[in-house]
Structure formats: structure tokens, C-alpha cells
Structure 1
Amino acid sequence: MPLTRSWYRDSAGPTASYAPLTGRQHADVCVIGAGYTGLSAALELAAAGLRVRVLEAEQPGWGCSGRNGGQINPGLACDHQVLQRALGPADALRLWHLSLAGVQLIAQRVERYRIDCDLTPGILLVANRPRQLPALHRWQDELQQLGYDQLSFHDRDGLRLLLSADYQGGVLDAGGGSLHPLRYVLGLARAAEQAGAQIHDHSRVSAIQQDATGVTVSTDQGQVRADQLIIGGNAYSGGLLPWRHRRFIPVGSYIGATRPLGELAEQLIPSRLAVCDMNNLIDYYRLTPDNRLLFGGRATAGAARMDRLRTTMRQRMGHVFPQLAEEDFDYLWGGQVAMTASRAPHFGRLGSRVLYAQGYSGQGVALTGLAGKLLAEAVLGRGDGFELFARLRHLPVPPGSALQTAVRAMALSWYALLDRRG
């Protein structure tokens, strides 16, 4: 994935550097991945007094945690009925409340650890076509029946006061929001280090060996011997998980950042809310503090050509905001999102000493932090939230990158066809 230079990286300010792993080291828990999941787990475990080492192939926040759209949503990416069928009404409701705790966890950590990440409340879910309005109303009713009182519906005319784009209507979720994802993940890294966790960047894991007394995790320059291991690499876990445990397919997703738009920015989104539409292949966007428009979407099955990607992204942005039809992007970047068949996240274990969480399906800003906390609690023997998520069953993915690419391409074509319906 060459599209790693983002506006986030250039606006994050100075970043800390961490020494690569060298020699033979020991820890109570080794964590693979310095993104939201891994750092959240490391923070909780170190705060509990455990010796923790975090191994990151690049640097903290290099993957999706530092490149995503920064939109915070309660709930999971799948419909609540999926959870009810899998777990029953009572446990599905427990998962819903855990997802709310994941949203609250962000605000708590931002305040406690003084993380400057432009945390902003409120997000809009908007209907592109008239046929989507009934589904939008059902979604609002469903969440209200779950006791969630943060939603307000705005018809087409009312929505215009919040957003100068042509949608059929929308629901404002006051409980959601947005943030600068890279600043947030760098703040988590600082907090984890201050709690006692040792972070090693440029320490790509090459092998994992589990036996009766512990786990050995190897890199090119060193080894960690630990009692337990957490794998938090999500779409970038690569071959660390056996094929039968992956249960997700990585899908490319992309974001562009315009030049600072000045007063035009306020005309486009007077409310300055984050926005996401209801298509299967979504558009999502928001304004930055310096009045750039961050515009995301455009899923791909394989590698994206920069020229075609730029053209497509500009067309999509111009369709939503005709005023920007001639605008280009100062930045254009992307990354891999781990999608499961059900869109529910995938938690699990390998033997008795290795735990993992992955497959957040595009809704991971809050869920990843929650996952890290639940992974830590499972290691510490506290609570059963991890086990509840692990009860969700997932369809296997086809083996081999070529076959997976073909499946991705067919799925994306099908979703694009559904989105074109009137």
C-alpha cells in the first residue's frame, strides 16, 4: 500500500520514536500491533502492573488506526438482528451496551491522558435515495428501542440547515463524533509508555511459537518470551494467524484532503458535523480545523492506480458538492479495512496463550479501543466481554490472495449495483 502520506501525518506534529526490539527479552504479555487495539490492550495491562512489550512492524499508527476517516459510531457495522440471531436478545443487548462503552472510552482517555486529537461530537447518517428513508427510520426506531436517546431525524429541508448537499433526509447522532485518528493513536502510545509498556517500532514479527509454558515471538533482531500474546494487527496481521482463523478479507479504502477552503467550508457543512451516507459503498466526509474537506470512500478489491483513484474520488466529491467540481486533493491516501462476511468483529484464541481481535468492518474507531480493553481484561481474568464477542461465528474466507481478490471484486460490483438502484 503506497498511499501512506496523509494529511494526518503532516498535521500530527512531532512524533516519538521507539527503539526496535533487539536481543532476548521477557514480558508477561507481548502485543503485536501499535494501533488502537494493541495500544489499548497495552495501556490497560501496563496500568495493572504487568510487564508489556508492544511490537510494531512500522511505527505506531502506521496502519488503519492512523489513516482512517476518524468517525466515531456506537454499535457494530452489522445490523442488530445479526447479533440477536447469533447470541439471543439479552446478549445482543449486552454487546450494544459494550459498544457504547467503547465510544465513552475514547472521551475518557482523551480527558485523562490529555490527548489533543480534535475530538468533536456529532455525526450525520444521510439517505441518498428515497428508498433508503424507511431503512433510516427503522434504524432510528431500533436504537431508540434499545434505550439510545441521542438520535434526531431531519427531513430534506431541515437537513439543509446542517449540510449543503442533496440528500433525502438524515439522522443526527449526538452520541457519535469524529477525531484526528493519528493524534489519538499517538496519544495512546504515550499513555501506554508512561504506564510502563515498552514499545518497539520497526520490529516486524516473523514467527510465533507457542508451547506449554509460554509464547516466543521473533523478529529479525530479537525475541520476546511472554506468558501470553495479543495479536492486534487487524487487516495487517498478514500470515500471523493461520488461514482458518483469519475470517476477514482486506478491502482498500481511500481518503482525500482538499486545500483549505476558507469560508466555503462553512457553506458546505454549516454544522461542521461528520457525515456518512447509506450506500453500501459509502461516502464519508468532514471538515478539518483548518477548513479542508476530508472526503473518503472508494473501496477497491486490489491495488489502486493513483491517476484513476484521484479521478474517481474527485468525481464522487463533485457529485456531493458541485461547488467542488474543479477542486483537487492536496493529499490522497488509503489503507486496508478488514471486512468480515457478517460485518461483526472477529474475536478469538489460538490455543491457551494467544488472543486476537480483528475484522471491525469499517467501524473500528470505537470498537478497537474497546477490543483492546476486553483483550486485557481476558488476560487479567476480569469480565467476560471478550468471550461474548468470541461467541460470534464467522464464515471462512477463501484461501489464496488471487481468489480473495476475485471475491472482493464480485462483492464490490454487487454492492455498486445495489447502490445504483433508484
Structure 2
Amino acid sequence: MALDILTVNDRPGEYPASYYAATVDLLPPMDPAEGALSADVVVIGGGFTGLSAALHMARAGLDVVLLEASRVGFGASGRNGGQVSVGQRIEQDTLEKLVGVERARALWDIGCEAVDLTRALADEFAGGAEWVPGVIHADHKPGFVKHTHAYVRKMKEEYGHNSMSALDREELRALCASDAYHGGLIDTASGHIHPLKLALGLARGALAAGARLFETSRVLSVTEGPRVTVKTNRATIKADNVLWATNGYLGKAEPRTAARVMPINNFIVATEPLGALADDLLPGNHAVADSKFVINYFRLSADKRMLFGGGESYGYKFPDDIAAKAGKPMVEIFPQLRDVKIDYAWGGTLGITMSRLPHVARLSSKVYDISGYSGQGVALGTMAGKIMAEALAGQAGRFDLMASVPTPRFPGGAALRAPLLAAAMLWYSIRDKL
């Protein structure tokens, strides 16, 4: 019997036992959708994309129904590392080769505006959501540093992005007390945030704008016709348009997207509060993401815990010992934390694409999908919701730009994507260690 991505690791209608869920004022549970309903738009998924879309659509005067299979912010939006980075998931020189300089620059502008929008919405609805500026890219191989420093020069000279600075080994060591890295860069236009606080703030904003949000309302079918019919186990909703915004939790519900967006699992630990040691490890309180293909990413919480993400798995089931899965690379990076107690350990599922760029698509004249942020969904997902609202208002230029970026099918489609990617990731993880 096939595993259910929504229930194999979690209890329906409950947030995971994460540090984030333990340090936020949760919203009261919202009723499931019931009976016969009608709306201008049905949004499927209550993460950053869906909540931002519902907020911006409702502000534009549309009648919006949002259907969340569990709780708003339940998925990757409420579990991630909290990094909010400018630009797209891949570097601009790579993006220029993929789509051309003009489109790459337009996508860069979207990625920068995404951070500004995320911060503004966090300020408006979530008291800032613990925003702290600064994200460091840390190179784990000395041979990578030359390219990173050349990229900083390119971004300054060609894009006028002056918040990015190169770091040599000693400069990086002064900001991140680990011997694992040889240099890198810091971007002070990027930052980190409490992601579940942001997601719940977006939900409050959407409700205040007039959107109807329903939890524990899993979509069973979407049928196109003169109007689209969306069915849950307790409701039938007729709508003019539908947005799939389920990201890694789509499963195989929409085959046209499942072939291009693959779920992978990622894991995070939160240590006990570290006190003065926290300031020794990350003196500037910046977030860090390293250059490994199986990436390590980490930052401090507001109460000075180390929040460390590392390790990936494919297939739906989380490992039995998540603390060991993410704790092992944490100690490799920071031996100083070898004897520190881990208070929280959790996993989550995100969506990735072959290109590492979002899958933005008109699946038909009435059905849309936005997903596959590949680890950069805090800002880009929030921005994508706004862009979807623009498209439905007749201003589809930015939606069409994002939709023009190729997101190839995984070899073998949804059926073979997991074993093939697992084999590829094993090779990359071995390469990271050599």
C-alpha cells in the first residue's frame, strides 16, 4: 500500500513538535469546508504561496477559498531553516546562460523584491517575525572560493548589488567559528526569520482581507468544466480559477506537476539555549548555508539556540532518529556542540525541480500551479502568491516570465524520480566528502 505523504510522518490536523510550533501563538483551528460553496478562486495549500495568494487576491476584491489539508503553515512553510535570500535559487551567471541576460535580470529583480515583500508582510502581520539581516554562503572547498569572489564582483559591477561582500578564510572564521570553511560571501540584503510566525501572520492577513480559510480540508479531485469543481470529503466548491500551491506535499494529486516537482525530506535540530557560546559561534547572528550539494544550513534562534539543518532523504518516510540525522553534520561543523543537548528535532518535505527554479505553470486556462522552490521558498513563495494575484487581475507579465523558465520532467516522471534522484544524491554526497 502506497504511503500517504500527508500522514506518514505527521498526525492530521497537528503541527509537528518543532521549535517553531513551540514558540508561536497558534491560531485556533479553522473549520473544514462543508457543503456546496462557490468562489472566484480556490487556492489549494496553506503555505507561503497559498496564503500570500489568498491575501493579495482578497485585497484585490476576489472571493477566495483556501483549502489546507492539515493546518495553515503545517508543511515546509512552518518547518524550514528560516533563510530569506535575495535572487533565485541558482546564481545569476548560471541563470543568464539558461534564459538569457534580460530575463535573468528580470528574475533577479523579482527575487530581490521578494525579500522586501516578505519583510513588509512580516512587519504588518507578524511583528517582524524575528527578522535578522545577513546570510553567509560558506565554501567547504578551497577551490570554490575563487568563483565565489568572482561572483561578488559580477553582482556589484553588473547588477549594482552592493550589499554582497567577499569573505576570505579568516573573515569568514570571524563570523562563523568553524574550521570547515575556506571563504565565501555575505549578503546583508538577505536575512533570517521565524517562518511559522510569518505563515500564521499571512493567514491572519488573508482572513482580515476577507479570504475564507478552511483547514483539514484535503482536496480529492479537481474537475474542469465551465467552472472548475473542487471536491473534498465534505465539500464541493465551484470556482472560476484554481491555484495548486502544495509544493512538496502534492504527492501525485496533480500528475502534470508531479512529474516536474519532487518531494525531498530535510531535517533540523534545535539545541538547548547556548548563552554566550552562541555569540562565540556566530558573532554577527547571521544565517549560514554552505556549498555542499547536500547542503548544511544554520542560524541562531531569538533565544540563542543553534537551529541546524542537514541531511536529506527520498521517499516519504522520515528516519527514526532525526536528531542523529541532523545532529551529526552539526557536530562536524561545530565540534563545540558535541555535548550540547538537543531539545527539538523535526523533519519536513519540500519540493525541488530539476532546474532548482520554481515550477510556475498554467496547467489549463483555469488551473495554475506554483511550486518547487528547491529550498528558497520563504521569499519566492510569498512573492509568487502576489504574482498569481496580479495574473488573475489581468497583469500577467511577471507570471508569464516565471512560467517561461524551463522546469524539465524528472527522468521517468513521478514513478522513477525518487530512486533516480536518490542514486544521484548518493553520488553527490560522496563527492562532498572527497
Q: TM-score, normalised by structure 1?
A: 0.95
- 1:347-366 equivalences under 5 Å are 347-366=360-379
- In the alignment, the residues of structure 2 paired with residue 139 and residue 45 of structure 1 have an alpha-carbon distance, to the nearest angstrom, of 37
> Does 2:285 correspond to 1:237?
no
User: How far does residue 200 in structure 1 lie from its aligned partner after superposition?
Assistant: 0.1
Quote the residue 2:262 is aligned against: 249
Quote the residue 1:25 is aligned against: 37
- In the alignment, the residues of structure 1 paired with residue 323 and residue 125 of structure 2 have an alpha-carbon distance, to the nearest angstrom, of 37
Out of 214, 235, 238, the residue aligned to residue 200 of structure 1 is 214
Unaligned stretches of 5+ residues in structure 1: none
Answer whether contact 1:61 1:182 (CA < 8 A) is retained: yes
Answer whether contact 1:122 1:178 (CA < 8 A) is retained: yes
Cα displacement string for residues 238-276 of structure 1 (whole angstroms, at most 9, x for unaligned residues) = 233124664021111110001111221111111111111
User: How far does residue 383 in structure 1 lie from its aligned partner after superposition?
Assistant: 4.2
Give, as a single letter, the amino acid of the residue that structure 2 aligns with 1:125: H
User: How far does residue 203 in structure 1 lie from its aligned partner after superposition?
Assistant: 0.2
Cα distance, 1:140–1:19 mapped onto 2, change above 3 Å: same
- In the alignment, the residues of structure 2 paired with residue 188 and residue 363 of structure 1 have an alpha-carbon distance, to the nearest angstrom, of 18
Cα distance, 1:394–1:369 mapped onto 2, change above 3 Å: same
Cα distance, 1:383–1:139 mapped onto 2, change above 3 Å: same
Cα displacement string for residues 253-301 of structure 1 (whole angstroms, at most 9, x for unaligned residues) = 1100011112211111111111111111111111111111100020112
Quote the residue 2:188 is aligned against: 174
Aligned length, in residue pairs: 419
Q: TM-score, normalised by structure 2?
A: 0.93
- In the alignment, the residues of structure 2 paired with residue 242 and residue 279 of structure 1 have an alpha-carbon distance, to the nearest angstrom, of 31
Quote the residue 2:419 is aligned against: 406
Other structure's SS at 2:298 match: strand
Quote the residue 1:102 is aligned against: 114
Quote the residue 1:190 is aligned against: 204
Give, as a single letter, the amino acid of the residue that structure 2 aligns with 1:392: V
Cα displacement string for residues 209-261 of structure 1 (whole angstroms, at most 9, x for unaligned residues) = 111x2111100000111111111111112233124664021111110001111
- In the alignment, the residues of structure 2 paired with residue 88 and residue 400 of structure 1 have an alpha-carbon distance, to the nearest angstrom, of 27
User: How far does residue 401 in structure 1 lie from its aligned partner after superposition?
Assistant: 6.1
> Does 2:381 correspond to 1:374?
no
- In the alignment, the residues of structure 2 paired with residue 143 and residue 326 of structure 1 have an alpha-carbon distance, to the nearest angstrom, of 41
Answer whether contact 1:67 1:334 (CA < 8 A) is retained: yes
Cα distance, 1:175–1:138 mapped onto 2, change above 3 Å: same
Quote the residue 1:135 is aligned against: 147
User: How far does residue 342 in structure 1 lie from its aligned partner after superposition?
Assistant: 1.1
Quote the residue 1:210 is aligned against: 224
- 1:1-400 equivalences under 5 Å are 1-2=8-9, 4-144=16-156, 145-166=158-179, 167-211=181-225, 213-243=226-256, 246-302=259-315, 303-307=317-321, 309-399=322-412
Higher mean C-alpha displacement, 55-64 vs 88-97: 88-97
Give, as a single letter, the amino acid of the residue that structure 2 aligns with 1:124: I
- In the alignment, the residues of structure 1 paired with residue 335 and residue 198 of structure 2 have an alpha-carbon distance, to the nearest angstrom, of 32
Give, as a single letter, the amino acid of the residue that structure 2 aligns with 1:374: I
Other structure's SS at 2:174 match: coil
- In the alignment, the residues of structure 2 paired with residue 401 and residue 304 of structure 1 have an alpha-carbon distance, to the nearest angstrom, of 19
Other structure's SS at 2:9 match: coil
- In the alignment, the residues of structure 1 paired with residue 318 and residue 62 of structure 2 have an alpha-carbon distance, to the nearest angstrom, of 42
User: How far does residue 376 in structure 1 lie from its aligned partner after superposition?
Assistant: 0.9
Cα displacement string for residues 45-93 of structure 1 (whole angstroms, at most 9, x for unaligned residues) = 1001111010000010000000000001111112324432343211111
- In the alignment, the residues of structure 2 paired with residue 169 and residue 79 of structure 1 have an alpha-carbon distance, to the nearest angstrom, of 17
Give, as a single letter, the amino acid of the residue that structure 1 aligns with 2:9: P
Give, as a single letter, the amino acid of the residue that structure 1 aligns with 2:249: Y
Unaligned stretches of 5+ residues in structure 2: 1-7, 11-15
Identity among equivalent positions (%) equals 38
Answer whether contact 1:249 1:338 (CA < 8 A) is retained: yes
Answer whether contact 2:84 2:378 (CA < 8 A) is retained: yes
Cα distance, 1:243–1:47 mapped onto 2, change above 3 Å: closer
Give, as a single letter, the amino acid of the residue that structure 1 aligns with 2:384: A
Give, as a single letter, the amino acid of the residue that structure 1 aligns with 2:148: L
Cα displacement string for residues 183-214 of structure 1 (whole angstroms, at most 9, x for unaligned residues) = 10000000000000000000000000111x21
Give, as a single letter, the amino acid of the residue that structure 2 aligns with 1:343: R
Other structure's SS at 2:342 match: coil
Give, as a single letter, the amino acid of the residue that structure 2 aligns with 1:186: L
Quote the residue 2:5 is aligned against: none
Give, as a single letter, the amino acid of the residue that structure 2 aligns with 1:377: E
Higher mean C-alpha displacement, 154-163 vs 267-276: 154-163
Give, as a single letter, the amino acid of the residue that structure 1 aligns with 2:73: G
Cα distance, 1:245–1:253 mapped onto 2, change above 3 Å: closer
- In the alignment, the residues of structure 2 paired with residue 392 and residue 403 of structure 1 have an alpha-carbon distance, to the nearest angstrom, of 23
Answer whether contact 1:251 1:408 (CA < 8 A) is retained: no
Cα displacement string for residues 7-33 of structure 1 (whole angstroms, at most 9, x for unaligned residues) = 101111232321100000111111000
- In the alignment, the residues of structure 2 paired with residue 29 and residue 2 of structure 1 have an alpha-carbon distance, to the nearest angstrom, of 30
Answer whether contact 1:208 1:240 (CA < 8 A) is retained: no
- In the alignment, the residues of structure 1 paired with residue 115 and residue 418 of structure 2 have an alpha-carbon distance, to the nearest angstrom, of 33
- In the alignment, the residues of structure 1 paired with residue 126 and residue 323 of structure 2 have an alpha-carbon distance, to the nearest angstrom, of 36
Give, as a single letter, the amino acid of the residue that structure 2 aligns with 1:2: N
